[in-house]
Chain A
């Protein structure tokens, strides 16, 4: 049975036969076939099972609007569910499997659902699974989950790459049918920058599926000739296999190019798909139209298809769905199908035309004023039951039915920005409204101009008008002589009467009865109708079914179709893979990785790294014999406090502030005073938000009268810079200050511990005196190191020890850390990571991100008196609000466990020693905790109501998440060196 239904002609290459498998069985097709056309050529019409009732289904269409022929394509990690057989290009070795059936497509166990369909009507799950409530999670949901859904995922990572790209053009033409081609020709010849996109793999649209001639050429020949000229124009970009999926603001369109979907495996280095962002000055929608069916009982049997699709299969792919085909139509299109079939030698059983005044046909009997009542055939249609005009029934035998209910313009793109389509009585369809996206015009049948002649001329004319608006002179391309028949159609949506089910939405199994039920239960707005019945909610978004549902709802509500209106059209136009939306931003590339200047050196030392925003920072440096992180961290802390330790602090934000008004500027952005800071001095600064809450802290070193170096926390480097630019440009536009982020320009290391000066003296060039007298605590200056390398030195301390931070240009960062470690050898210098850094700052009671948490004020942080009242600074006014200055305001204090073996846990809330534990009696909370190897105890800092007056009090730190209660004593947050003698040493 090789290609029993293959005809002569068509746009397939018979010299290139292709082997493929469907449900494990091998077949042969040709290059140019889709999976659906090749299966039809092999007399396979059954391609899937429906979602709810598991009804046998075959293709309804020949394009991307397909609801039924949905398959799993490929195998292994490239397996892709819910792929339309009607658009999947055949390639050698293609493997496809049907889905939503068990054990096989022909014998599906779940088809039992069909017998119980009365239980599964619209809204059944709202009604059926109501009680007992406990059953929902344990019983109903697992059953529904198992039964629902179509295809299955491979559960493996997608091996292919997806790209993103950006394009610019004067005119984007969406669709390369007759309208699109003639528009592109007109605009291309005029020299405009044109992009023409086409979702199909060949250009021409319906020209490839119809037999009408253009001048003395076939449609395909004219399309090929036009395409050849367009390809010769350097200003025209033709993008096939590219679907414009959405219209966005300001002329931006999203488009997915299926670069490698038509081959088994992408070529080396090529992406599977590319998401294009197209910036267009103007766009022209030439997306054509979609044929709609007429619903009748059992209209979903394999072989019952749309008339235009039958013509596509027969004319373009030389594959007929059957040898004997009946036609059911309400318009002249059905007669066109009959002529085309007859020309191919296929028997046409009859034309069943709903119009009483239907024209006759030279090819077959026309049953005027008749309608199809029902169909027979288990896995494929075998016979139609037809009610003639006189009411009598006639059986018509056939193996396929070509149904024509008229055409709906593809208005989607005109509605993506909330535009509403308008009803056109002449074609009984919605056409684009006048409120479409600015810059988008519509031509051809997408605009409701249904003839070939109309499409060609409207495309050319639209292009001329658009280019005129862009100041480009164009002449409409001469259009060939083409078919120009008026639309003759009797609106006819469904066949009335009968007890069986007539399908509207075949993918989601929504029937005419379901719409009636929705109306009966008062779900009458189209949006309610959609959600109650799931009409149009499947992967095809109801492209072939929504109109029928609307028409029936209109009839039931006694309204006109435009009064009922449509649901909102939203992007994407066709199903879009998440892979292409993600592009290359997956896995490690999800965000950039920032490495510190000492990264490679730290890697050599076996450092353990932690992600800090995009940064990777060394967390600790394990040495031989250490098996637990605490061993490493405790050692690093003790060694630093005993002698000297070195830590990479490059990630802290650095902002260079220069200008005659630099000190006035800092005086405005920091709550504490900066106007009088001497050159060569550094000061701690606290920045508030305008609402009085602490935003960030850091230091500002005055390198010169008009030059400060400001640091921020690692986390807020970006937002503080943004805020300072806001202050500079928006609040004080005439202030003489320039800002630049130098975070990545300088490698900066903290050198901390009693021997830090001795170590640095070995590195800093001799002419710079860094003795305690010459370079005291909080000094800063420009120096040179290692014989002339420019550097900056700050005597600041986060650890509480005698400490410095030394900065060198980033490119010397690696050499500097190696040099510092080498110079530190005689002092047993250790590198320390972020954990030891954290332990030491908690021991010292320094606030960090956990304390500057967006809810705390300067007062809470114990820095209330720092907020200068003698000047205006950001946040100073609102920090004075009474609510923020209550007597029992939270104050930062320290905590020690009563039993030193017990841990203090960050996040614990503070309750009185005895009594209830609940939010009403909450006294505060612990923000940071660590084990202090110096104190040999767990310690913590946090916020306690009226904390500064409660030293010595015993409280409970409760952690209800872990059912943990620890008795803690309120102490000063300065656990180590409270008087600051060490850092001034």
Chain B
């Protein structure tokens, strides 16, 4: 597979390490009333779609960027690649 790195251009997937579902970006607030439940969902419950999937890849043999890759799990077509930090900011994460 080839991942079109937003900074470095197309790179072989072998340069990357796969983590999993990009929902890992949405780490719950530890002070929420139901924090325990939220963390349980965050840690253990994942969708496993046959089709489009947003997932985290780490450019370990490269510039060490974490990327959010939108990939079709059936065809392996990659429709979008973003820097995870950009996505995290867009989703309201900061410090």
Question: Is the beta-carbon distance between B58 and A731 smaller than 8 angstroms?
Answer: no
On chain B, the residues within 8 Å of A390 by CB distance are none
In the assembled complex, A732 has its CB within 8 A of some CB on chain B:
yes
Instruction: Please provide the chain A residues from 704 to 741 with a CB less than 8 Å away from any CB of chain B in the complex.
Output: 718, 722, 725-726, 729-735
On chain A, the residues within 8 Å of B75 by CB distance are 417
In the assembled complex, A252 has its CB within 8 A of some CB on chain B:
yes
**Which single member of A417, A691, A730, A881 contacts B66 (CB below 8 Å)?**
A730
In the assembled complex, B17 has its CB within 8 A of some CB on chain A:
yes
In angstroms, Cα B28 to Cα A438, docked, is 40
On chain B, the residues within 8 Å of A881 by CB distance are 36
Mask, B43-56, CB within 8 Å of A = 1, is: 10000000000001
Question: Is the beta-carbon distance between B88 and A249 smaller than 8 angstroms?
Answer: no
On chain B, the residues within 8 Å of A877 by CB distance are 28, 30, 35-36, 39
CB distance from B24 to the nearest CB of A (A): 7
Chain A: which residue is nearest B30 at the CB level?
Answer: A872
Question: Is the beta-carbon distance between A690 and B43 smaller than 8 angstroms?
Answer: yes
CB distance from B53 to the nearest CB of A (A): 15
In the assembled complex, A424 has its CB within 8 A of some CB on chain B:
no
Given the known A-B contacts A250-B1, A726-B66, are A876 and B95 also in contact in the complex, defined by CB atoms under 8 Å?
Answer: no
Question: Is the beta-carbon distance between B66 and A725 smaller than 8 angstroms?
Answer: yes
Instruction: Please provide the chain B residues from 61 to 95 with a CB less than 8 Å away from any CB of chain A in the complex.
Output: 64-66, 75-78, 83-86, 88-89, 93-95
Question: Is the beta-carbon distance between B36 and A729 smaller than 8 angstroms?
Answer: no
On chain B, the residues within 8 Å of A664 by CB distance are 95
In angstroms, Cα B21 to Cα A903, docked, is 47
Question: Is the beta-carbon distance between A730 and B36 smaller than 8 angstroms?
Answer: no
Chain B: which residue is nearest A736 at the CB level?
Answer: B95
On chain A, the residues within 8 Å of B77 by CB distance are 438
In the assembled complex, A878 has its CB within 8 A of some CB on chain B:
yes
In the assembled complex, A573 has its CB within 8 A of some CB on chain B:
no
Question: Is the beta-carbon distance between A732 and B93 smaller than 8 angstroms?
Answer: yes
Question: Is the beta-carbon distance between A725 and B58 smaller than 8 angstroms?
Answer: yes
Instruction: Please provide the chain A residues from 658 to 714 with a CB less than 8 Å away from any CB of chain B in the complex.
Output: 661, 664, 690-691
On chain A, the residues within 8 Å of B58 by CB distance are 722, 725-726
In the assembled complex, A276 has its CB within 8 A of some CB on chain B:
no
Mask, A228-263, CB within 8 Å of B = 1, is: 000000000000000000001111100000000000
Instruction: Please provide the chain A residues from 618 to 676 with a CB less than 8 Å away from any CB of chain B in the complex.
Output: 661, 664
In the assembled complex, B60 has its CB within 8 A of some CB on chain A:
yes
In the assembled complex, A317 has its CB within 8 A of some CB on chain B:
no
**Which single member of A249, A661, A722, A729 contacts B95 (CB below 8 Å)?**
A661
On chain A, the residues within 8 Å of B76 by CB distance are 249-250
Question: Is the beta-carbon distance between B84 and A729 smaller than 8 angstroms?
Answer: yes
Given the known A-B contacts A250-B76, A730-B84, A878-B39, are A725 and B64 also in contact in the complex, defined by CB atoms under 8 Å?
Answer: yes
Question: Is the beta-carbon distance between A690 and B2 smaller than 8 angstroms?
Answer: no
In the assembled complex, A880 has its CB within 8 A of some CB on chain B:
yes
Given the known A-B contacts A249-B76, A876-B30, A878-B43, are A730 and B95 also in contact in the complex, defined by CB atoms under 8 Å?
Answer: no
In the assembled complex, A279 has its CB within 8 A of some CB on chain B:
yes
Question: Is the beta-carbon distance between B40 and A878 smaller than 8 angstroms?
Answer: yes
Given the known A-B contacts A725-B58, A878-B39, A878-B40, are A733 and B30 also in contact in the complex, defined by CB atoms under 8 Å?
Answer: no
Chain B: which residue is nearest A725 at the CB level?
Answer: B64
Question: Is the beta-carbon distance between B2 and A250 smaller than 8 angstroms?
Answer: yes
On chain A, the residues within 8 Å of B17 by CB distance are 722
**Which single member of B12, B56, B78, B93 contacts A733 (CB below 8 Å)?**
B93
**Which single member of A279, A734, A735 contacts B2 (CB below 8 Å)?**
A279
Question: Is the beta-carbon distance between A731 and B93 smaller than 8 angstroms?
Answer: yes
In angstroms, Cα B77 to Cα A102, docked, is 53
Offer 19 A-B interface pairs, CB within 8 angstroms, sorted by A: A249-B2, A250-B78, A251-B2, A279-B2, A279-B12, A438-B77, A690-B43, A729-B65, A730-B56, A730-B66, A730-B84, A730-B93, A733-B86, A734-B89, A872-B30, A876-B30, A877-B30, A877-B39, A878-B36
